[in-house]
Structure 1
């Protein structure tokens, strides 16, 4: 008697990428695509209807992003098995996804080599994080994280806001904003606003 194929749900807002995943999964005898979604809201609904064995989840999507979808799905089923597929290697984003309940974390650039084995591993109850992402997590693990307010200041900086604008937007004094920026520079080990924003984007601390 043969075992039932692993039922896979793909969630990504780019149809071409979903087609690429289907091309990899389709020929496998031990797995099958049971559904495709283009945003997190659809993913939550599809999970409830289809109950797939493994979900392949992008993070940056309209209407509902992947992180919120992971949280919503795990509230419905704490044993849901979700593999994040993303373009971004950032450690902060990876940590958030894993804490939310993802069992795997892959970069889209590595799919051809890692995807099928990761689906099988996660379906078997194991976890997999791409080695280069795991390395980034390890490098920054001992660092003091940015506070929620510092992240808000960073987001305003990324939008091009001057200190006076940031102060007005966040109902802070300019001196308090300057203190937050000094702390951000120290925690991110950077020397200026451009470096701070670039580093925060690369690590997934903020997103545009």
Structure 2
């Protein structure tokens, strides 16, 4: 039997949590192991339950989601947090990612896309909706010392790069290029090292800023 992904739901609206629980647990491979109604509860439950993925809202009483993300990551650097919020403002998005979230999805996202985003965060990937990706790009300031990707990446890595920017999973990239998921992961790890970035989001933003690929034609 495949081990289920253990999820902590964090949202200050009980009806939202109930709906999310019903939807996610209907997927078969996802299991809700706890619920928190504010940021303080979120930190307490995250440290006690050690869930595989934390699904975090931003606007909550007592302690907001961004502060909760920061506090959780300080205590558990390995925590995998996916933001699910109605906010699409630059400040909330950027601060959430800086605090330690691995992904950011808007509440208008479909249930299948949300479940897939949870699986991808669990796998260490960085899912973003197209709008969120654009917001992050808009806030980035170029630096003169950044590596030029066209010079430091191999031909194969430059083939993988636009697929990373599009937000494809390692599995989907492998299927498109005819290579294994493990090989894709190795390539992306090497790409991040050469680009001197810490995650796929930063790699994607660097690629877009340097004009190597266009980003997201759809919303």
The reply to whether TM is greater than 0.5 is: yes
Q: Distance between the aligned counterparts of 1:119 and 1:12, measured in 2?
A: 16
TM-score normalised by structure 1 residue count: 0.65
Matched, 1:91 2:67: no
Query: 3-state DSSP class of the match of 1:89?
Result: coil
In our comparison, the structure showing a higher alpha carbon Rg is 1
Task: Kindly indicate whether the alpha-carbon contact (under 8 Å) linking 2:8 and 2:54 is maintained by their aligned counterparts in 1.
Answer: yes
Listed as ranges, the gaps of 5+ residues in structure 2 are 143-219
* Displacement of 1:113: 4.2
Superposition RMSD in Å? 1.4
Q: Which residue of 1 aligns with 2:56?
A: 57
Query: Deviation per CA, 1:65-91, whole angstroms, max 9, x where unpaired?
Result: 101100110011101000001101112
Listed as ranges, the gaps of 5+ residues in structure 1 are 144-208
TM-score normalised by structure 2 residue count: 0.62
Query: Deviation per CA, 1:6-25, whole angstroms, max 9, x where unpaired?
Result: 00000000011111111211
Task: Kindly indicate whether the alpha-carbon contact (under 8 Å) linking 1:92 and 1:137 is maintained by their aligned counterparts in 2.
Answer: no
Q: Which residue of 2 aligns with 1:138?
A: 137
Q: Distance between the aligned counterparts of 2:72 and 2:87, measured in 1?
A: 22
Q: Which residue of 2 aligns with 1:47?
A: 46
* Displacement of 1:114: 1.9
Instruction: Report how many aligned residue pairs link the two structures.
Output: 142
Query: Which protein, 1 or 2, shows the higher relative CO under an 8 Å CA cutoff with sep ≥ 6?
Result: 1
